[in-house]
Amino acid sequence: MRAASFAILFLLATAAPASAQSFTDENVWSPPTMDCSVGPIQKTYGGQSWLVFGCADGKSVQIVSTQDSPASPAYFMFEYGADGYGLYGQGMGDRATTDAAHAELRAFKDMDAAALNEEVRKAGQPE
């Protein structure tokens, strides 16, 4: 599936303060608030495959469950703000799967999130 069409289907984010660290499992799915269409690259978190996209602000990153993942639909976002990177997310898939990925991502430091952003941006550039 083309990255842009996947982004339309699965890049669903809410605005949150950069310092927020939460993951919610709600019955309401929030619409996107930031364009995150650079990439994707594929990474593994919590034992599952996730797609990572760079965002329009040049620093934030969205991590989206693949369609065949038990976590789907779910996403996490490292959003860059005045206090550095904050992690938040939302999902309606298997909670154990998303919790495992959340635990791994929660351990990221600002430099790890920045390195992930750099990796997706380099991969998203035409050769």
Residue 6 lies in a domain: no
Note down the domain range covering 58: 18-29+52-127
Is 40 part of a structural domain of the chain? no
In this structure, the strands spanning 38-45 and 48-54 are antiparallel
Q: What is the pLDDT of residues 89-99, one digit of tens each?
A: 998 899 999 99
Which pTM value belongs to this model?
0.74
- Count of domains for the chain: 1
45 located within any domain: no
> Does residue 125 lie within any of the structural domains?
yes
How confident is the model over 25-61, as pLDDT tens digits?
455 545 446 889 999 999 999 999 999 999 999 999 9
- Burial of 84 per CB tally in 10 Å (0-12, 13-18, 19+): middle
Residue scoring higher pLDDT (20 or 67):
67
Residue 44 domain-assigned? no
In a domain, 76, yes or no: yes
* DSSP secondary structure, 49-102, as one string: EEEEEE-TTSS-EEEEE-TTSTT-SEEEEEEEETTEEEEEEEE-S-HHHHHHHH
Q: How far apart are CA 96 and CA 107, in angstroms?
A: 17
